[in-house]
């Protein structure tokens, strides 16, 4: 399998495994969508780590496969390509990308689907599609600009240049830089901490933030207040407030 899903301690690891560079061919894209949907359904998975291994996250699309596709073939495929990445972005649980080595093109776009990105000091990220006479096609023009702003996104997309981990951190493209050997461990620890949190409230928070980024503020506020009021019907809200009153903040144990 080019992508696997394993769960431990409430954390599901979506592992890319297509040596040597984890090139994202059609089969890998489709498998990624299937497992993202599985991670969404499974109650034993409460947070997700996306990981490509110790040496490389994902170096992009399979260019040899794409080279033989004509316009008609890509028209037929482009939506499925985007849908496979959107399935990751819409996992209603905290998702962290553990980025080592290259995260280029589709690899960078996959990292953009996460809520949080931890990069190794050896990481290199970028959207080099322009060097092939193309533009990003798996969400890069949209998610990158929302994350780092339009001017910085255009710089990366227009030039196709790669950025090292320290510059990626400055740009806001990644959220934390750690030694390469600690990337997965720290990503798993981040996810495991949130896996112990109130699952419905975390889902609500993610949906409210993401919806607000995609629409006007009035619609975003409507989503926020609907979820906010709705959470008063949950057991986790009762547990959290009771624990706060009786024991102080940060000691609640959610089911």
Query: Among 109, 185, 207, 224, which one carries the catalytic annotation?
Result: 109
DSSP reduced 3-state for 212: helix
Q: Give yes or no: 6 in active site.
A: no
CB burial of 212-247 (b: ≥16 within 10 Å; e: otherwise) equals: beeeeeeebeebbeebeeebeebebbeebeebeeee
CA–CA gap between residue 104 and residue 115 (Å, rounded): 18
Residue 182: both structure tokens together: 């600690």
Pairing of strands 3-8, 11-16: antiparallel
Q: Sheet containing 124-126: which strands, arranged edge to edge? A: 102-104, 124-126, 162-164
Query: Among 37, 129, 167, 207, which one carries the catalytic annotation?
Result: 129
CA–CA gap between residue 129 and residue 135 (Å, rounded): 5
* Torsion angle in degrees (nearest 10) through CA of 21, 110, 177, 173: 130
Burial of residue 194 (number of CB atoms within 10 Å: 0-12, 13-18, 19+): buried
Q: Give yes or no: 246 in active site.
A: no
Catalytic residues: 109, 129
């Amino acid at each position: 399998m080019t992508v696997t899903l394993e769960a431990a301690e409430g954390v599901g690891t979506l592992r890319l495994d297509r040596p040597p560079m984890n090139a994202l061919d059609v089969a890998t894209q489709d498998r990624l969508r299937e497992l993202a949907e599985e991670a969404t359904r499974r109650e034993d998975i409460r947070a997700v780590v996306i990981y490509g291994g110790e040496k490389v996250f994902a170096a992009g699309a399979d260019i040899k496969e794409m080279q033989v596709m004509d316009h008609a073939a890509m028209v037929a495929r482009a939506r499925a390509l985007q849908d496979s990445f959107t399935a990751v972005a819409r996992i209603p649980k905290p998702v962290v990308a553990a980025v080592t080595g290259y995260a280029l093109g589709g690899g960078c776009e996959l990292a953009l689907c996460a809520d949080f990105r931890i990069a190794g000091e050896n990481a290199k990220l970028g959207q080099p599609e322009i060097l092939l006479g193309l533009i990003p096609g798996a969400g890069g023009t949209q998610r990158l600009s929302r994350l780092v702003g339009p001017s910085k996104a255009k710089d990366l997309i227009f030039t196709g240049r790669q950025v090292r981990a320290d510059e990626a951190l400055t740009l806001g493209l990644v959220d934390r830089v750690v030694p390469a050997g600690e990337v997965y461990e720290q990503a798993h620890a981040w996810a495991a901490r949130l896996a112990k949190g109130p699952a419905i409230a975390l889902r609500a928070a993610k949906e409210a933030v993401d919806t607000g980024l995609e629409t006007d503020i009035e619609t975003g506020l409507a989503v926020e207040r609907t979820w906010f009021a709705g959470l008063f019907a949950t057991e986790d809200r009762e547990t959290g407030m009771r624990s706060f009153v009786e024991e102080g903040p940060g000691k609640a144990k959610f089911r």
